[in-house]
């Protein structure tokens, strides 16, 4: 009980001081929106999109193949594909649209991934196996993450104008990225 109170109190007072002393995060845009940093909102949205995509596409292991709820819902003929398309749109694409200034090209690539996965799922059984391998939601989350990384690197370049342009770090490998979801 005492350690819980101590952690909460110390986290409240020390956490703010540590945040002020730490280096700026160069991979997301910093701008004030209603007194809050925009980067925090984008980071939350990206985390939610990746978490939802993980459960929809990679939540379970079945015979060595990672598959999620889209595979199991896809086994229901036609109705499962409609449910998958609605889930993908409502949980992934709609959430990504909450980011201010997101270009239509990023949204259209995400819609393309959803459309391809829905089209593959319409083929009985073989399409569902291909859908489990395609992982359209996971691809959409990767598209969003790549866009945010590129925008953050461009913003850093504008802010600091260093002699050499910053290198956009690669996205973590798929197998190692599951630990922070």
Tokens of 86: 């609605």
Instruction: Please report the pLDDT score of residue 13 as a whole number.
Output: 53
pLDDT band of residue 35 (cuts 50, 70, 90) is: very low
- CA 22 and chain centroid, separation: 25
Residue of higher predicted confidence among 132 and 17: 132
pLDDT band of residue 21 (cuts 50, 70, 90) is: very low
Instruction: Please report the pLDDT score of residue 180 as a whole number.
Output: 40
Q: Backbone dihedral region of 34: left (phi > 0), alpha (psi from -120 to 50 degrees) or beta?
A: left
Instruction: Please report the pLDDT score of residue 60 as a whole number.
Output: 83
Residue of higher predicted confidence among 39 and 162: 39
For CA atoms 78, 79, 84, 85, the dihedral sign is positive
pLDDT band of residue 181 (cuts 50, 70, 90) is: very low
pLDDT tens, residue by residue, 80-127: 899 999 999 998 889 888 888 899 999 999 999 999 988 988 888 888
Instruction: Please report the pLDDT score of residue 159 as a whole number.
Output: 73
Output the average pLDDT for the chain: 76
pLDDT tens, residue by residue, 147-173: 988 888 887 777 776 555 556 666 766
- Mutual orientation of helices 104-121 and 79-88 as an angle, nearest 10°? 160
* 139/92 Cα distance (integer angstroms): 11
Going by their DSSP bridges, the two strands 32-33 and 65-67 should be labelled as: unpaired
* 107/89 Cα distance (integer angstroms): 11
Residue 148 contacts by C-beta under 8 Å, 6 or more apart in sequence? 27, 28, 42, 46, 99
Instruction: Please report the pLDDT score of residue 140 as a whole number.
Output: 92
């Amino acid at each position: 009980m005492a350690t819980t109170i101590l952690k909460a109190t110390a986290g409240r007072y020390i956490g703010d001081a540590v945040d002020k002393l730490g280096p700026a995060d160069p991979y997301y845009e910093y701008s004030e929106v209603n007194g809050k940093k925009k980067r925090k909102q984008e980071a939350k949205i990206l985390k939610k999109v990746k978490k939802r995509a993980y459960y929809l596409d990679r939540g379970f292991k079945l015979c060595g193949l990672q598959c999620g709820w889209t595979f199991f819902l896809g086994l229901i003929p036609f109705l499962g594909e409609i449910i998958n398309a609605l889930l993908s749109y409502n949980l992934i694409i709609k959430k990504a649209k909450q980011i201010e200034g997101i270009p239509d090209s990023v949204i259209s690539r995400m819609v393309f991934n959803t459309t391809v996965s829905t089209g593959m799922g319409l083929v009985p059984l073989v399409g569902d196996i291909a859908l489990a391998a395609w992982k359209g939601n996971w691809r959409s989350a990767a598209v969003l993450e790549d866009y945010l990384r590129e925008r953050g690197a461009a913003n850093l370049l504008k802010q600091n104008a260093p002699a050499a342009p910053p290198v956009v770090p690669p996205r973590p490998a798929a197998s190692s990225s599951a630990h922070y979801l």
